[in-house]
Amino acid sequence: MLVKIYTDGAARGNPDGPGGYGVILEYTDRKGELHTKEISQGYVKTTNNRMELMAVIAGLEALNRPCEVEVYSDSQYVVNAFNQHWIESWIKKNWKRGKNEPVKNTDLWKRLLAAKENHHVTFIWVKGHDGHPQNERCDILATTAADGNDRIVDEGLAI
């Protein structure tokens, strides 16, 4: 089953302001019927990159069986980590990058790796704020969650 996951993250006053993520999952069943699910969550204090990661994690964690997955994100941070094999390098270097500096957001990178483990995932970059319907909707979901009253604490922010 092919599932398309569209994602976006947002943070107000990045870094360390309120933030949120938005996700749309789409798949077409054998009868040709499109099924869509939207997910979003707001956080009291976070960063844009953490929300971009959480959007992908939330989408993958919503899947209840192994799938072929296309993740569409406007985050080069997320897409390039996989498509340019940064993540493999980070793991080989014990989560260090560049000048032996620690990789940021390792808690979420590890959670993302676990979430994608049972799936075949392709990461596709889309230009943000460029009229892509699902990306625009994810942006609305993310910013609405960031501005909402149901925000939660980003427990890993200080990690």
Q: Which of 22, 42, 139, 154 is catalytic?
A: 139
Q: Which of 8, 19, 22, 42 is catalytic?
A: 8
Q: Which of 68, 120, 129, 148 is catalytic?
A: 129
Q: Is 29 a catalytic residue?
A: no
Using the Cα atoms of residue 120, residue 133, residue 145 and residue 155 in order, give the sign of their dihedral: positive
Beta strands across the sheet bearing 120-125: 34-46, 17-28, 2-11, 68-73, 120-125
Q: Is 8 a catalytic residue?
A: yes
State yes or no: 101 annotated in a binding site. Answer: no
State yes or no: 8 annotated in a binding site. Answer: yes
CA distance 129 to 149: 25
Q: Is 129 a catalytic residue?
A: yes
Q: Is 139 a catalytic residue?
A: yes
Q: Which of 9, 19, 22, 42 is catalytic?
A: 9
State yes or no: 74 annotated in a binding site. Answer: yes
Q: Which of 19, 52, 59, 154 is catalytic?
A: 52
Q: Is 52 a catalytic residue?
A: yes
CA distance 57 to 75: 14
Nearest-10 Cα torsion for 69, 73, 77, 83: 40
Closest by Cα among 55, 41, 87, 60 to 3: 60
State yes or no: 107 annotated in a binding site. Answer: no
Annotated binding residues for Mg(2+), written as ranges, equal 8, 52, 74, 139
Which residues are known catalytic residues?
A: 8-9, 52, 74, 129, 139
Annotated binding residues, written as ranges, equal 8, 52, 74, 139
